Structure 1
Amino acid sequence: MRALSRIALTTMLAAPIAVGTGVAPSIADAQDFVRIATAGSGGNYYRLGSGLASIWNDTVEGVQASVQATGGSVENLDLLADQEVEIAYLAGGVGIQAYENTGTFEDRPADRYQGLRSIGTVYPNPQWFLAMEWAPEIESIRDLEGMRVAVGMAGGQGEAWWRMTMDHLGWTYDDIEAEYTFHDAAIDQVRNRQIDAVVSPDAPGSATIQQMMDTGFARIIDIDEDIIEFFDESGLDYPYTVSAQYAPGRDEPVETFASPITFSTHEGVSEDLVYELTKSMFENRERLIEVHPLAELMTIEDALDGLPFPLHPGAERFYEEQGVL
């Protein structure tokens, strides 16, 4: 997994200074409400975010945390940029596109995402490719031309990845019948024979992938080698092998690519608050694992890998205390 350059890990803004009263504000005064942008209510971001909101409400004095269902990474980037949420889960590969004004974000204002800051990487998110039994001719991404394909929610990581895939192939949305669904909606489409394939990211051991496979209609296919190479060369995404243990219906590992899922914020959130939130998140990791086993992949040692934005000063202070920065 490739990390952002050391320059990007350097604090770019000084912490805000209280003036006028002579008394430093408390964390509660600085930020009463912490809104966590996730994705659809059936997904990993939402489950982890809900667990974390509960932990923060119990352990960080004065904080009132809540979870917000969204369209996923692209929408979360806009919510952070507009400071409409304080915290968001998002794919690092999509995040760095926003920060550098490339890919999906090349037509956005040049400075729109410059105020975003990283807290840490939480887990790898691989791309999945499933084809249905009624479409036996599908053996490659290139076989999806003219097919009904679930590409993820509009504005999410999956749809951003699909746009990049189409750019690589020289396709447009005219080349497929796109369905902007995933999780429960896509599972229902599989059950009802309404789609031919699913191309969307989800974590190892995904309940969504398991439920699609449980229908008896789906099979998991490796991603094309040249597409893996394309994503590997395009940003923070990297080749990834899903072990057969986490690939239902497969006796062999799945060759694909993945993006580091990052926990992010913006420069408007105070250093003290982000420090306390980061500290509480890691100190209560075992409790978060009880909410979702994906939290087992969240470690302090890997937290600085693949960050799309400069590190927030509050998170930086925590990692310095832990001796990993």
Structure 2
Amino acid sequence: MKHAFLATALLSASLVTGAQAENLTLATGSSGGTYFPVGVALSTLVSEQLADKSVRMSPITTGGSAENVELLGSNEAQVAIMFGIYGRDGYRGVGLRQGRPPIPELRSITALWPDYDQFVLRKDLVKTGTLSDLDGLGAAFSVGPRNSGTEGTTRLLLDAVGIDPETAFKPTNMNYNAAAEAFQNGRIAGLSAAGGIPTPAVSQIYSTSADETAILQVSDEQAARIAEATDGLFTPVEIPAGTYPNQSEPIQTVMQPNFLAVRADVPEETVYEMTKAMFEHLDVLRAASSAAKVISLETALKGLPVPLHPGAARYFREQGIAIPENLVN
């Protein structure tokens, strides 16, 4: 009886609004990263702002970019946050997706924030202060959740500089929060954490263990090798001093763009309204994570790896933004 009443109520609501309910799933990431809090904030914003159009968005936790590409391809999620390299390789069926079919349904909505690759290591194990310190480490080191974007890019970057994780250390798979706790308890020697800065799990480590913690630098030579291996998608960047508690010096590493992806078959009007709601209420996303402070119309198209969805393109054109030819499908 309760389910029958609920179904009748939902049908009545749909008839009143004159619209068929549209339920979207947003694939985010694991707790302790940046994707999850921003994804929750974005889902809440879209559901509130598009309620009169019967559009509802629900966030789900995932292993991150690698899983999110698969979820979009299978239509288990219609919207996702992901690394640029996973979007590019997923769309083309190359690189990290070599040997598997491409996902031509992938489209972009907007660039988000740069993703900083951070290799955290116990300070007493630091020798050169660069990624080279992971070669021959021999101890347990978290490469990110299993089959996650973090694991994929960690292995990609280390391979680019000649380090094989399988022989250099003992790779373990943990989400960011679990890895931070294991690091603080001395159960692992370090961890890889890719995210907008400050990354919550890394902040957690620095807040209690700054004197025993180092983030390895990516040397100029290593950055050049990484750029060559990724066709320039990863670029050198500095983590400014003071990003983390008691971090007195800047740290040189590499970054890649994050972007908001969507399936091509999500209606144009829906994506247009989503994009509009997002950029008219950026304060909501910025309140969820300081990484989102860099999201802006000025950088919305920067580094997008796949074509824009027509709904997003329509919104940007209304704002006077020219759409590059490579982003038009």
The CA distance in 1 between the partners of 2:310 and 2:56, in whole Å, is: 21
Q: CA distance change for structure 1 residues 137 and 180 in 2, over 3 Å: closer, same or farther?
A: same
Q: Which moved more, 1:223-232 or 1:271-280?
A: 223-232
- What do the CA deviations read for 1:63-94 (whole angstroms, capped 9, x no partner)? 11110100000100011111111110001123
Aligned positions of 1:91-102 closer than 5 A: 91-102=83-94
Q: Which residue of 2 aligns with 1:77?
A: 69
Contact 1:54 1:65 in 2 (8 A): yes
Aligned positions of 1:154-165 closer than 5 A: 154-165=146-157
- What do the CA deviations read for 1:222-273 (whole angstroms, capped 9, x no partner)? 1233332233231422111111131443322111111111000111111111
CA root-mean-square deviation? 1.9
Q: Which moved more, 1:118-127 or 1:159-168?
A: 159-168
Q: Which residue of 1 aligns with 2:41?
A: 51
Cα deviation, residue 137, structure 1: 4.0
TM superposition score normalised by structure 1 = 0.86
The CA distance in 2 between the partners of 1:320 and 1:150, in whole Å, is: 43
- What do the CA deviations read for 1:91-146 (whole angstroms, capped 9, x no partner)? 1123212223332211212xx31210000101111111211144244733222222
Contact 1:183 1:208 in 2 (8 A): yes
Question: Secondary structure in 2 aligned to 1:244?
Answer: coil
Question: Secondary structure in 2 aligned to 1:200?
Answer: strand
Contact 2:197 2:290 in 1 (8 A): no
Cα deviation, residue 172, structure 1: 5.0
Q: Give yes or no for the alignment of 1:212 onto 2:242.
A: no
Cα deviation, residue 27, structure 1: 9.6
Structure 1 alignment gaps of length 5 or more: 1-25
Q: Which residue of 1 aligns with 2:13?
A: none
Correspondent of 2:225 among 216, 230, 253 = 230
Contact 1:27 1:273 in 2 (8 A): no
Question: Secondary structure in 1 aligned to 2:242?
Answer: helix
Contact 2:31 2:177 in 1 (8 A): no
Cα deviation, residue 196, structure 1: 1.0
The CA distance in 1 between the partners of 2:18 and 2:114, in whole Å, is: 31
Q: Which residue of 2 aligns with 1:284?
A: 281
The CA distance in 1 between the partners of 2:19 and 2:263, in whole Å, is: 18
Structure having greater relative contact order (Cα 8 Å, sep ≥ 6):
1
Q: Which residue of 1 aligns with 2:112?
A: 122
Q: CA distance change for structure 1 residues 288 and 165 in 2, over 3 Å: closer, same or farther?
A: closer
Amino acid at match of 2:144: G
Q: Which residue of 2 aligns with 1:197?
A: 190
Structure 2 alignment gaps of length 5 or more: 1-16, 323-329
Bigger helix fraction: 2
Identity %: 29
Question: Secondary structure in 2 aligned to 1:199?
Answer: strand
Q: Which moved more, 1:168-177 or 1:188-197?
A: 168-177
Correspondent of 2:178 among 185, 191, 206 = 185
Amino acid at match of 2:194: P
Q: Which residue of 1 aligns with 2:4?
A: none
Contact 1:220 1:249 in 2 (8 A): no
TM superposition score normalised by structure 2 = 0.85
Aligned length: 297
Q: Which moved more, 1:276-285 or 1:40-49?
A: 40-49
Correspondent of 2:96 among 90, 94, 104 = 104
Q: CA distance change for structure 1 residues 128 and 80 in 2, over 3 Å: closer, same or farther?
A: same
Q: Give yes or no for the alignment of 1:33 onto 2:33.
A: no
The CA distance in 2 between the partners of 1:176 and 1:220, in whole Å, is: 17
The CA distance in 2 between the partners of 1:100 and 1:229, in whole Å, is: 24
- What do the CA deviations read for 1:5-61 (whole angstroms, capped 9, x no partner)? xxxxxxxxxxxxxxxxxxxxx9943x6101100001332111011111111111112
Q: CA distance change for structure 1 residues 27 and 123 in 2, over 3 Å: closer, same or farther?
A: farther
Cα deviation, residue 161, structure 1: 1.2
Cα deviation, residue 319, structure 1: 0.4
The CA distance in 1 between the partners of 2:34 and 2:129, in whole Å, is: 28
Amino acid at match of 1:274: V
Contact 2:34 2:200 in 1 (8 A): no
Correspondent of 1:266 among 263, 285, 309 = 263
